[in-house]
């Protein structure tokens, strides 16, 4: 027997909400009490792609994500909670478009890109379409901030949901996506106050729309008739005005009377008896406010709502042909999860009209905009300044004038420093108390050049140079590196020793500049990534003499060395993207937007 299953939209939305909630969680003092998720946006890879005009797709394997990608990191910036938002597809309101209306039974509610059920206007206000006037084009832009649905002059009924602030638009809005949120308290902004009002006004299980499926034929109606007299359960239609109303007894029995305006406006009653000669109708329930000569009424087929909620009431509008054109809901009721609407008059006129009840989402329209609009995607916005951190000591330092080609999201790295980027004797997983705003993911080496030509180093290192050390080259020559198998001393010299030294330890220069803390012009600071070593060999240490890979020329001596501020083998890669070469400039902000799909 075949079976069919699929994850629901609610599951995806729940996962997205849980992800954001984990970023807002607070941790205790010990690693065992960690509840938060700490994310860093990491820039990496300063070396060219094989084809710079066409970056390759990132490999999806353990070696790449756990080693190669991380070894190429330059620096990471912490993603704070203000840099994260649920997002949904952006749907701009465009005049002349036929929009879908919200239906709780729609199977393509979130996937109908050609005819969405919500829009954002050029004023960044978001509205949900509750009724599309029988699939006609929308020509009147929705406006206003009422917590109640409203009908525009083009027949569309809209529900205002929320307004995107300029700050939110700058961070999270793109040509494809727009932010969506809920709030639990005001942040003092007009936008949050409006959303709070919308959430508070939402009615769980409300019926705000009943749409006509088939219009039926032959129904009688009375429109805008004036009231002559009325008592609690009877009402007489004025004969002073020429109104199309039947003189036949019982003609409107079973239909409903609605007080359109004047005293008692808004009351709906079912007619149980009609006297044609006097135009007097008797209703099933006494009027709460008795109509009078200021009142006008409509008579139309009765709309009966049957469901598991209560309080919903509606009345029908007929067209000139005696068919049901549409239905107005005058009381939305509450707590409905299922309902049907029946349209009836009596056996003397009208038949065939049917209608479909549209029940609001759980909590009511506007109670949870994230769920209602299908917010199962999360946007991250990270801004890298021209230079991040402290260049003088390398704390959290991400230098400018460096190229990068990968953007990655790293979750919960193991840190070697505290929140002030000060090194600690023990490593610990990033949490809310120990995680700095930026992480230097490179090794920082203070070096002094061995030979200077005035103020200029001889054989100076350059960005992307691969470096090795003299310590390992000599050990290779002597045959004491454990992987050296060549027995002859002469054979171990030259190229073989250089290649063995490269295998024992190497690194690549990401950035290099004069040491700003020294007056000695031979002192420079180099930032290295792809630092690798064989077995337990220390890659580079203080007093190591550095060489360029492939050359025996001694270039510089290590005066001080500090490893990355995070264990580069730690953390989980949640996202990575390969891009064409981008250069971090001192006077430029890198504004990065990432969409995570749950």
pLDDT digits (tens, 9 = 90+) for 78-95: 999 899 999 999 999 999
Helices (H), 117-223: 166-172, 190-201
**What per-residue confidence (pLDDT) applies to 63?**
92
Residues 319 and 258 grouped into a single domain: yes
Residues 253 and 341 grouped into a single domain: yes
The DSSP H or E segment spanning 574 is: strand 572-584
Q: What is the pLDDT of residues 87-117, one digit of tens each?
A: 999 999 999 999 999 999 988 888 888 889 9
Pairs from 448-452 (Cβ < 8 Å, separation ≥ 24): 448/520, 448/522, 448/523, 448/524, 448/556, 448/557, 448/559, 449/522, 449/524, 449/555, 449/556, 450/545, 450/554, 450/555, 450/556, 450/557, 452/521, 452/522
**What per-residue confidence (pLDDT) applies to 588?**
87
**What per-residue confidence (pLDDT) applies to 347?**
83
The yes-or-no verdict on residue 209 having pLDDT over 80 is yes
The yes-or-no verdict on residue 27 having pLDDT over 80 is no
Closest CA to 102 of 214, 207, 215, 213: 207
**What per-residue confidence (pLDDT) applies to 479?**
85
**What per-residue confidence (pLDDT) applies to 483?**
82
Of the chain, the percentage scoring pLDDT greater than 70 comes to 98
pLDDT, mean over the chain: 92
Say which residue, 304 or 347, is predicted with more confidence.
Answer: 304
The answer to whether position 2 is within a domain reads no
The answer to whether position 1 is within a domain reads no
Q: What is the pLDDT of residues 478-531, one digit of tens each?
A: 888 888 887 777 888 889 889 988 998 999 999 999 988 888 889 999 999 999
* Extended strands (E) in 25-124: 39-44, 73-78, 84-89, 118-120
**What per-residue confidence (pLDDT) applies to 519?**
87
Residues 428 and 472 grouped into a single domain: no
The answer to whether position 4 is within a domain reads no
The answer to whether position 255 is within a domain reads yes
The answer to whether position 277 is within a domain reads yes
- Residue 249 burial (CB count, 10 A): 13
User: What CATH number did the domain enclosing 69 receive?
Assistant: 2.60.340
Residues 528 and 573 grouped into a single domain: no
The answer to whether position 468 is within a domain reads yes
The yes-or-no verdict on residue 561 having pLDDT over 80 is yes
Phi, psi of 19, deg, nearest 5: -60, -50
Residues 351 and 429 grouped into a single domain: no
- Is residue 294 within 8 Å of 283, Cβ to Cβ? no
The yes-or-no verdict on residue 451 having pLDDT over 80 is yes
pTM for this one? Answer: 0.87
The token duo for 386 is 């021209």
Residues 408 and 534 grouped into a single domain: no
The yes-or-no verdict on residue 237 having pLDDT over 70 is yes
Confidence at 33, pLDDT banded by 50, 70, 90:
low
Residues 347 and 467 grouped into a single domain: no
The DSSP H or E segment spanning 10 is: helix 9-24
- Residue 30 burial (CB count, 10 A): 9
- Is residue 263 within 8 Å of 291, Cβ to Cβ? yes
Residues 241 and 345 grouped into a single domain: yes
How far is it, in rounded angstroms, from Cα 133 to Cα 203? Answer: 23
Closest CA to 91 of 125, 136, 137, 139: 125
Q: What is the pLDDT of residues 238-281, one digit of tens each?
A: 987 677 889 999 999 999 999 999 999 999 999 999 999 999 99
Q: Which domain holds residue 281?
A: 211-358
How far is it, in rounded angstroms, from Cα 160 to Cα 124? Answer: 11
The pLDDT of 18-36, averaged and rounded, is: 76
Residues 175 and 110 grouped into a single domain: yes
Residues 462 and 497 grouped into a single domain: yes
**What per-residue confidence (pLDDT) applies to 440?**
95
The pLDDT of 152-167, averaged and rounded, is: 97
The answer to whether position 140 is within a domain reads yes
DSSP secondary structure code for residue 482 in this structure: T
The token duo for 262 is 């004047």
The yes-or-no verdict on residue 2 having pLDDT over 80 is no
Residues 501 and 514 grouped into a single domain: yes
**29-43, 228-242, 299-313: which has the highest mean pLDDT?**
299-313
Confidence at 32, pLDDT banded by 50, 70, 90:
low
Task: Reduce the DSSP state of residue 81 to 3 states and report it.
Answer: helix
Count of domains for the chain? 4
Residues 393 and 533 grouped into a single domain: no
The yes-or-no verdict on residue 77 having pLDDT over 60 is yes
């Amino acid at each position: 027997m075949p079976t069919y299953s699929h994850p629901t939209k609610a599951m995806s939305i729940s996962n997205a909400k849980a992800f954001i909630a984990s970023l807002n969680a607070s941790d205790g003092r010990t690693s065992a009490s960690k509840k938060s998720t700490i994310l860093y946006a990491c820039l990496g890879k300063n070396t060219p792609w094989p084809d710079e005009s066409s970056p390759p797709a990132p490999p999806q394997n353990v070696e790449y994500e756990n080693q190669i990608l991380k070894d190429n990191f330059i620096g990471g910036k912490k993603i704070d909670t203000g840099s994260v938002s649920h997002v949904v597809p952006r749907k701009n309101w465009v005049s002349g478009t036929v929009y879908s209306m919200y239906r709780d039974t729609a199977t393509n509610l979130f996937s109908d890109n050609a005819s969405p059920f919500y829009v954002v206007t050029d004023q960044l206000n978001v509205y949900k379409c509750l009724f599309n006037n029988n699939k006609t084009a929308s020509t009147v832009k929705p406006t206003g901030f009422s917590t109640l649905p409203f009908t525009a002059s083009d027949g569309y009924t809209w529900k205002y949901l929320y307004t995107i602030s300029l700050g939110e638009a700058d961070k999270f809005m793109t040509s494809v996506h727009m932010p969506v949120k809920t709030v639990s308290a005001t942040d003092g902004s007009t936008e949050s106050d409006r959303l709070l009002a919308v959430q508070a006004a939402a009615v769980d299980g409300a019926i705000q729309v009943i749409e006509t499926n088939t219009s039926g034929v032959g129904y009688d109606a009375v429109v805008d008739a004036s009231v002559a007299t009325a008592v609690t359960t009877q009402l007489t239609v004025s004969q002073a005005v020429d109104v199309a109303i039947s003189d036949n007894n019982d003609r409107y029995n079973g239909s409903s009377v609605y007080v359109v305006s004047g005293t008692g406006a808004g009351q709906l009653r079912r007619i149980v008896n009609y006297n044609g000669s006097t135009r007097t109708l008797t209703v099933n329930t006494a009027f709460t406010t008795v109509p009078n000569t200021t009142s006008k009424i409509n008579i139309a087929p009765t709309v009966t709502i049957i469901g598991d909620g209560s309080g919903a009431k509606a009345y029908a509008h007929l067209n000139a042909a005696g068919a049901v054109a549409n239905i107005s809901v005058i009381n939305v009721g509450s707590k409905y999860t299922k309902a049907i609407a029946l349209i009836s008059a009596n056996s003397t006129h009208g038949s065939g009209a049917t209608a479909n009840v549209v029940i609001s989402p759980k909590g009511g329209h506007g109670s949870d905009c994230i769920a209602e609009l299908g917010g199962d995607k999360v946007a991250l916005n990270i801004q890298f300044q021209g230079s991040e951190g402290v260049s003088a000591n390398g704390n959290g330092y991400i230098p400018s004038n460096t190229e990068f080609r990968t953007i990655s999201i790293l979750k919960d790295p193991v840190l070697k420093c505290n929140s002030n980027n000060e090194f600690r004797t023990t490593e610990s997983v990033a949490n809310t108390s120990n995680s700095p705003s930026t992480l230097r993911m490179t090794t920082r080496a203070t070096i002094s050049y061995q030979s200077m030509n005035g103020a200029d180093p001889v054989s100076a290192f350059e960005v992307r140079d691969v470096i090795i050390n003299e310590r390992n080259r000599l050990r290779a020559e002597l045959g004491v590196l454990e992987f050296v198998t060549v027995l002859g001393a002469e054979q171990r010299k030259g190229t073989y020793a250089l290649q063995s030294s490269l295998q024992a330890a190497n690194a690549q220069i990401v950035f290099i500049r004069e040491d700003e803390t020294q007056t000695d012009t031979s002192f420079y600071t180099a930032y290295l990534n792809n630092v690798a070593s064989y077995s337990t060999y220390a890659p580079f240490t203080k007093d190591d003499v550095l060489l360029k890979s492939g050359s025996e020329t001694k270039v510089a001596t290590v005066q001080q060395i500090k490893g990355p501020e995070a264990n580069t083998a730690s953390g989980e890669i949640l996202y990575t993207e390969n891009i064409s070469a981008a250069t971090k400039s001192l006077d430029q902000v890198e504004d990065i937007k990432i969409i995570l799909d749950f």
